[in-house]
Structure 1
Amino acid sequence: MTTAVKARRWGWWFVAEHRVSHIRAYWITLLVTSLGSPFVYLLGLGLGLGILIDENQGGAGVGGVPYLTFVTPALLLSAVMQGSSQENTFGTFGGFKWTHWYITQYASPITPAQMVLGSQLGILVRTSITAACYVVVIAVAGIAPLGRALLLLPVAMLLSVAVGFAVTSWVATQVDDRGQLSFVERFVVTPLALFSGTFYPLEVLPAYLQWIGWISPLWHAVELGRWVMYGADIPGWRLVVHVLFLVALAAVTAALSIRTFERRLDK
């Protein structure tokens, strides 16, 4: 099999391998922060805010479970959303503007679709490391059994690609960085973390703010995460909606990303 044929068939894998190879440059930092952050957050919330909330609720916690159990899946998934957003913001823009990864790859038989899918697969490896570290901490801390905690991984992976494709589909349209790339973190990711039922049930928000959660991929993932980790009381039809929302978001924005890559690289 010639190199050109391999590239046409396995181009997406080569792109993913290229993205993963860059993790070697900061893997120690990634591992330390991925393990350290959950310890700090869970310790602070469990021994601090969690105790106050549980006592205020007469020991009932939130939704019938301790506050720490309630908030843990949300913290894991929020970290995954943030990681996916960051990688797909500056990573995608840099691939066009700074490192010219995509322009170089386009000179080979690798197609724009393979670039989009391969990049997302490579980023998924990075976000899965973060999620796996959270799972280890959850199990070690006794917040949930390891078997239950592991069920958070597929939810995290689905959230990662849904957010990743959505961010990439917009970033790929940006030609110059005038500060707008930082807006994704400041005015999209952070607000979503606050208004997606992360630290409190979405229902406690005023009705005129709850719509933010309904369109937030994080809220849909958090609901699924709480269901798989400790069996939160969520109707079956709503679980189906959560899954379909994330799958549809990933599929639609993946198609948009591919189209944008094709148009930009054909110029």
Structure 2
Amino acid sequence: MTSPEGAPGAGASLPTDPRRPVSSSSFSGWRAVLTYWLMRYRRIWPSTVVSSFLAPLLYLAGLGYGLGSLVDGPGGSAINGVAYVAFVATGLVAAQTMMTGSGEATYNVLAPIKWTYNYYAMLATPIRVVDLVRGQLVYILIRMTMVAGVFTAVATALGAMSGAWVPAVVVVAVLTGMGFAACTFAYSAGITDSGQGFNILQRFVIMPMFLFSGTFFPLEQLPTGLQAVAWVSPLTHAVALTRAFGLGPDSPLWLEPWRFGVHLAVLVAMIAVGYALAVRRLTKRMVV
């Protein structure tokens, strides 16, 4: 592998090979990367409060309670017998982890390659490319757990979620965030411009899924053709799960066992494919 143009030691080979046999010290490689990201987060965490915690709660208050007062009629709710605030809260928790997970894997991946050269410095040690990916994804896993846990706790306290299955909402939301984080990591590892590709990702992938995956209204409200397109979105599967678990077995939105299996399989497959692609593309980018 060679250093990028303008980086310290440009033109010199760095002694790393992601294909070398795994030694005992390799098992600590990803933990060292995780420690770096945790130490970094300790310095910047105040800047994440609005995007990770306050913004989704404002969505919940504005849409769930504000718009919900118009959607819910005097005799009940117009959304499958479910109060609109509960409908929105159980979908928004998955949508928020999608937004946070994808955001954590954009510039935080491109910058260490293109501008700060942190990845190059790490790879000059026994740390391997696979350790970079694992360590950073574990850090994102911790972030997803914080975001999903806080949102679910607040929504439960407000009465928007209830029942013994509420903890499963956090699990599904974390899986959702990790799936989008892993796939975005793979995408970011191949970005060669100054981040214009992230605008395309946000405008034409993330935002349409945020709006048209059942977060704010039932998919049945869409034309039949668009419903089929919506079910292609991984977020649709995530929202179906968080809504079922957040509302409980007595809800009309509870799912048949086979549907739980299909939705979970989509999220797990997304994580597995995204992780494999992330390692492959980062290796191709960093190692020659």
The answer as to 2:242 corresponding to 1:213 is no
Contact 2:169 2:245 in 1 (8 A): yes
Query: Residues 142-183 of structure 1: CA distance to partner in whole angstroms, max 9, x if unpaired?
Result: 222375433211111111111011111111111222612222
Task: Indicate which of 180, 183, 186 corresponds to 1:169.
Answer: 186
Query: Residues 101-126 of structure 1: CA distance to partner in whole angstroms, max 9, x if unpaired?
Result: 21111111111111111111111222
What amino acid is aligned across from residue 267 of structure 2 in structure 1? L
Report how far residue 227 of structure 1 moved. Answer: 1.2
Closer, same or farther: CA 241–65 of 1 in aligned 2, 3 Å: same
Unaligned runs of 5+ in 1: none
What amino acid is aligned across from residue 120 of structure 1 in structure 2? L
Q: TM-score, normalised by structure 2?
A: 0.85
What amino acid is aligned across from residue 32 of structure 2 in structure 1? F
What amino acid is aligned across from residue 252 of structure 1 in structure 2? V
What amino acid is aligned across from residue 233 of structure 1 in structure 2? W
Task: Indicate which of 262, 268, 272 corresponds to 1:241.
Answer: 262
| SS at structure 1 position matched to 2:139 | helix
Partner of 2:4: none
Closer, same or farther: CA 244–200 of 1 in aligned 2, 3 Å: same
Contact 1:77 1:222 in 2 (8 A): yes
The answer as to 2:244 corresponding to 1:227 is yes
Task: Indicate which of 26, 33, 46 corresponds to 2:64.
Answer: 46
Of the structure 1 ranges 171-180 and 77-86, higher mean CA displacement relative to structure 2 is found in 171-180
The answer as to 2:27 corresponding to 1:9 is yes
Closer, same or farther: CA 12–36 of 1 in aligned 2, 3 Å: same
What amino acid is aligned across from residue 17 of structure 1 in structure 2? T
The answer as to 2:157 corresponding to 1:136 is no
Distance (whole Å) between structure 2 residues aligned to residue 182 and residue 252 of structure 1: 23
Per residue, is there more helix in 1 or in 2?
A: 1
Partner of 2:171: 154
The answer as to 2:1 corresponding to 1:22 is no
The answer as to 2:57 corresponding to 1:36 is no
Closer, same or farther: CA 20–6 of 1 in aligned 2, 3 Å: farther
Report how far residue 50 of structure 1 moved. Answer: 0.7
Report how far residue 7 of structure 1 moved. Answer: 4.2
Report how far residue 219 of structure 1 moved. Answer: 1.0
Counting matched residue pairs gives 263
The answer as to 2:106 corresponding to 1:89 is yes
Partner of 2:16: none
Task: Indicate which of 95, 98, 104 corresponds to 1:78.
Answer: 95
Task: Indicate which of 120, 123, 130 corresponds to 2:137.
Answer: 120
Q: TM-score, normalised by structure 1?
A: 0.91
What amino acid is aligned across from residue 18 of structure 1 in structure 2? Y
Contact 1:120 1:165 in 2 (8 A): yes
Unaligned runs of 5+ in 2: 1-21
Distance (whole Å) between structure 1 residues aligned to residue 194 and residue 56 of structure 2: 32
RMSD of aligned C-alpha atoms? 2.0
What amino acid is aligned across from residue 254 of structure 1 in structure 2? Y
